[in-house]
Chains A and B, each alone.
Chain A
């Protein structure tokens, strides 16, 4: 019989247990979420009024850059990996991840990557200040010296993601309990399987593009320097070939979580399971052939513009299928609205709104007016905050009783939800308006006509920030104690994770379960 955890810090440093590693990923990502959130609050505080009040433009640009990088690579991606670590083995009836030692390694290099990234703030010349998309030559010839450290930290994060993805694929393909055929897998497992392939496909591309930057900066090459025969637009093509699949890496697991939660609280099976799987796969495929819609204004030939416009519009079809399936799952169910369900329902509504603005952005001629304005900021925050963040939050509330054996405080959960929901909409909805009215993104100061909506956004942002404190408090209290959760926790939830006791023992499914 398997043994229990080591004691003290050694348990965490040397652990190969998927639950321990999952918890570390989740805590780490929450810390990064707060850090990146504080940076967002610096941005929103500066934008509260026209004029420069709190920070100077140099530092403002460092904040927008670091906020983006930390949220994408530090908050959202590790949180999904954390959920995958905790849940995938339990969902497929496996005793652990397929490659436990590598699992430990892929987590433990992350804190070093982010410590290095964060340390650039204290370096001479400041932190990276060229936006999370780091377009050359602003990020090469014109970049601060700390860019080299940024590049190295991206390399480490990429290595961590690739190891995580390999581990997830190996686990899913090899360690399913007998009888768990692919088309019987929970959707969270399916979406993660597809996400893992996306990661393996595009993280090396990111590593490639930052390595080319490194060569341009230090070794005299001219990949992106027009004066040396290079091409600044090449940077954007390579970056977005990574970048577009990357945004789906941040949303596909979210689809999986929501597809798990809605049926539980609608007390009705998910509508269109197989079409959900095919839709996810189609979205993943399309994500590779739409990258240049981020670059409609770079002056591509019209054939290119048309191709990328049509391909991008096509994404609306499988995404629509998913939304329709969720709504139909809710239709004629017997719904209750506990905190995970509230977050999941808000996900469907707000993600759909983000999808609508995405469809508008896909229309190339209209995009010439939207591109690089706050309309884009509104769009991607609507898909990422209610998309990734809300689904992760929903997942945490949903599985927290299984992890800790205790029920979270439902009232506090609902307070968290409503604060976050109101804060989020106050923050990001007005951004549609100022964007359409002509406010460019990434500016530290703005013309007077944008003042009112910016003020509302800033207030909303602080509200949203405050909501996360409630979340932290609720989770800590649940970990410490509280009402004991039953093994099933919810009303007849589906999935193998509910067949083990609450809290889940340190080792689960040492012998494979029977799958009907």
Chain B
């Protein structure tokens, strides 16, 4: 029995040692026990509120548990203590009803004030539409042409433990949301499929993104920096793999970035006219596939039996082109998990990924799809 106990305690200790050497470089953030103070005024007052309630609870806890431990120590039968027989006191009951009520009122006042601040979404300097997709975020800078998806950029090899994990494992994206500091940024949140929740702890913004609804939230960030968050509402298989990265930069830098992005968007439009070679499309298509399709259909195109169909040898990918274009652009009528990618991807990417799917994983259709074919297909519908 004793030997068993020793082993029980040796086991976790050994594992703990192994683990701590693995994540040594994480020093600063490890063993974090409290809410972060944040970088907005609202985040700071939320943090203050959190600490206030916390200390009130600690004080009540010390009092209640103090009395309890005192009697557990003193009023034991083994110490020969004789039990008193009192069992009622209306005055005492009234006292411990009224005092907590007063404490609660004291807590409700600052909470109400902070809540009003959080709900004040009027007069924003910048509006950004945030749309949740399974399993990525889309950002539209309203009033400009800038619009992009933000995907997890942690490689699959790290998740599958085939490569050491990077510093910001699961909290890194290909394209962060860029916002200027000291400006009131309003987020308009919605979702394309199921409910998601957009949460950046340092901004103290957590708001559900709900299909068919538009929610509002706002933040005015004081300090430039990179702030990381995650989707907070269970949204399906890859709920844990759709992080949020917000990059707050000085205003001039933000403006430069925005016009650069607007130019790039214009260039992308021009690319639609171009005719690509098969190799160009195949190479680009592989990237798009791994970024967009592989989460469900798997990197090897085999899908997940019962949940997500295979691309390899599939009736659609090796059938008439029309059907293939239709399901990728407009989504599946029977299985909502297959989204409509017509608006999510550019014409170039759509052409590339369809070309790729028809010629990879042993599919050998030999055809190429040009961006202009996509445009024509969309226009004839």
Q: Which of A138, A314, A336, A365 contacts B195 (CB 8 A)?
A: A138
Query: Which A residues between 345 and 385 are near B, CB-CB below 8 angstroms?
Result: 345, 348-349, 352-353, 356, 359-360, 363-366, 368-369, 371-373
Secondary structure call for the A interface: helix
User: For A124, what are the chain B residues with a Cβ–Cβ distance below 8 Å?
Assistant: 305-306
Majority secondary structure, B binding face: mixed
Q: With CB as the reference atom, state the residue of chain B lying closest to A363.
A: B111
Chain B residue numbers with a CB within 8 Å of A487 are none
**Residues A29-66 near B (CB distance < 8 A):** 49-53, 57-58, 61
Q: Of A109-117, A296-304, A397-405, which binds chain B?
A: A296-304
Q: Mark A118-162, 1 if CB is under 8 A from B, else 0.
A: 000000111001110001011001101000000000000000000
Q: Once the chains are docked, how many angstroms separate the CA of A437 from the CA of B229?
A: 11
From the candidates B83, B92, B100, name the one contacting A334 in the complex (CB within 8 A). B83
- Complex Cα–Cα for A336 and B92 (A): 26
Question: Is B269's CB within 8 Å of the partner chain A?
Answer: no
B77 sits at the interface (CB 8 A): yes
The answer, yes or no, to whether A99 is at the interface (CB within 8 Å) is no
Q: Is A170 an interface residue (CB 8 A)?
A: no
Contacts of A28 in B (CB 8 A): none
Answer whether residue A452 sits at the interface, using C-beta atoms and an 8 A cutoff: yes
Q: How many residues of A contact B (CB 8 A)?
A: 99
Which of A330, A345, A463 counts the most B-chain CB atoms under 10 A from its CB? A330
* Residue on B nearest A324 in the bound complex, by CB: B96
Given contacts A317-B100, A331-B75, contact A451 B236 (CB under 8 A): no
CB within 8 Å for A359 and B53 given contacts A333-B84, A336-B78: yes
| Inter-chain contacts of A270 with B (CB < 8 A) | 87
**How many chain B residues touch A (Cβ–Cβ < 8 Å)?**
108
Chain B residues with CB below 8 A from A233, complex form: 210, 213
For B117, the closest partner residue in chain A by CB is A365
Q: What residues of A have a CB within 8 angstroms of the CB of B34 in the complex?
A: 433, 436-437
Evaluate contact between B71 and A330: CB separation under 8 angstroms: yes
A203 to chain B, nearest CB (A): 24
A-B contact count (CB 8 A): 310
Mark B13-56 against chain A: 1 for CB-CB distance below 8 A, else 0.
00110011001001001111111100000100110011001100
Let me know if B2 is at the binding interface, CB within 8 A.
no
A67 to chain B, nearest CB (A): 14
A320 to B233, CA, bound (A): 31
Contact A50 B46 (CB under 8 A): no
Q: What B residues does A274 contact at CB under 8 A?
A: 88
- Report whether B97 and A366 are in contact in the complex, using a CB–CB cutoff of 8 Å: no
Given known contacts A368-B46, A455-B15, is B237 in contact with A57 (CB within 8 Å)?
yes
Does A448 sit within 8 A of B, measured CB to CB? yes
Q: Is the CB of B88 within 8 A of A142?
A: no
Docked complex Cα distance between A269 and B300 (Å): 70
Is A275 positioned at the interface, with any CB of B under 8 Å from its CB? yes
B interface, CB within 8 angstroms of A: 8, 12, 15-16, 19-20, 23, 26, 29-36, 42, 45-46, 49-50, 53-54, 57, 60-61, 64-65, 67-68, 71-72, 75-78, 81-89, 92-93, 96-97, 100-101, 104, 107-108, 111-112, 114-116, 118-119, 134, 158-161, 165, 167-171, 193-195, 197, 199, 201, 204-208, 210-213, 215-216, 229-241, 304-307, 336-337
Given A314-B104, A455-B15, list of 19 further CB < 8 A pairs? A137-B194, A138-B194, A226-B212, A227-B212, A233-B213, A271-B88, A299-B207, A299-B208, A299-B216, A306-B112, A331-B67, A332-B84, A334-B76, A366-B46, A368-B118, A440-B231, A442-B234, A443-B240, A445-B159
